[in-house]
Amino acid sequence: MSSYAPGYVLTGSQWNYRIVDKVSGDNTHKSLTFKAEVIPRDDAPSPPQWALIKGAAVSDAIARENLDRECGNYRLPGVAEAACFRKLYDVIDTADSEKYIALEWLDTTLAQLTYRPDMRTYTIIKTFLEAALNSCVVLEAQNHVNTDIKPANILLSSTETDTITAKIGDLGLVFPAGRRFEAQPFAMRAPEVLLCEPCTAPSQVWATAATLLSWIKPGILGAFDSPHFLLHKAWSMAKIKRLFPEWYIPTPDEVEGHSFKATVKSAARISREEPEMRAIAPLEEELRGVEMLPREIGEVLRLVLVVDPRRRPSASEVLASKEFRALETFVGV
């Protein structure tokens, strides 16, 4: 597949796709992705101008597994027709047993934008939160959970207009709820998942708000500045402990497994002693330090970022909340 240079044409079921360029993404996905020009056919409906082509070589078992899972997730009831997900156009199997999918093209991702204290940014925030939360509602109805909500998978178009579009992309890491442990990117990983519980519906709601917080204040969550990969989990736990002092990290005597005992011991020490951690204040103080952060955005973050998953609101509850309605009113939508 990597030999498919610009100009190569893939034959789809309703349109053809001419490769234009490779898409690098955030360098965490296993599949190869390309931007493609959609070539119409006389007997097919009017096509969009562009598509994203995602493929997996036969030799790459992980990429192929994720691609197959993504195709399967689009067959879940309600997913393919939901406006909050990127559209799937085509599934293409080639003669050499490689597999591709053609997906809706969007202009950029949240990861490629920078937070700015202006109304355009606040509208982007409201729009992507609505899309992400609605995606959680759809998946929760099917007892599934998205373990890969992150800025790079928040897809955006028309961000400089009054009709911003936001959609969720990359469904290759959507799994049945309660089946996936040690999931989610570290910066978006829910407290209960860090404590070795499975990823469930409340976990993806946390990830949605953590995506926003991490975008507004890069580095405040996660392990990007961890000194060693073996400390990534403890480092991430320590940051949550600093932001939410009430969060209880169990002692080594209260958990099972040599590795997890070492992790909770390290997390407690790191949260107290490391200079990077001492620079992190509780959430309220951190939000006050964000330049011109509207009260309405802060209220949504406070509503969702509840460390106890049993007390965390569901996605549908957030969408119906007075806090989210106030954000809608603030941005004029």
Question: Nearest 5°: phi and psi at 185?
Answer: -55, 150
| Same domain membership, residue 267 and residue 155 | yes
CATH of the domain at 29: 3.30.200.20
CA atoms within 13 A on the CB side of 269: 8
Q: Tell me which of 104, 138, 157 is where a domain ends.
A: 104
User: Is 3 contained in some domain?
Assistant: no
1 in any annotated domain: no
The two structure tokens encoding residue 64:
């192929």
Residues 154 and 73 in one domain: no
CA dihedral 182, 184, 171, 201 (to 10 degrees): 90
Q: Are 176 and 200 in contact (CB under 8 A)?
A: no
Residue 211's closest CA among 166, 248, 251?
Answer: 166
Structure tokens at 207: 């990830």
The domain boundary residue, chosen from 79, 104, 129: 104
Residue 4 lies in a domain: no
Q: Are residues 49 and 112 in the same domain?
A: no
pLDDT at 3: 54
Q: Do 308 and 224 fall into the same domain?
A: yes
User: Which pair of structure tokens corresponds to residue 124?
Assistant: 């982007």
Instruction: Give me the pLDDT at residue 213, please.
Output: 98
Given 104, 120, 150, the domain boundary residue is: 104
Residues 36 and 159 in one domain: no
Domain that holds residue 173: 108-331
Count of domains for the chain: 2
Q: For 188-220, b where at least 16 C-beta lie within 10 A, e where not — what string?
A: bbbbbbbbbebbbbbbbbbbbbbbbbbbbbeeb
Residues 100 and 112 in one domain: no
The domain that holds 210 is classified in CATH as 1.10.510.10
Low-confidence ranges of the chain (pLDDT < 70): 1-4, 25-31, 44, 95-97, 333
**Same-domain pairing of 162 and 237:** yes
Residues 116 and 32 in one domain: no
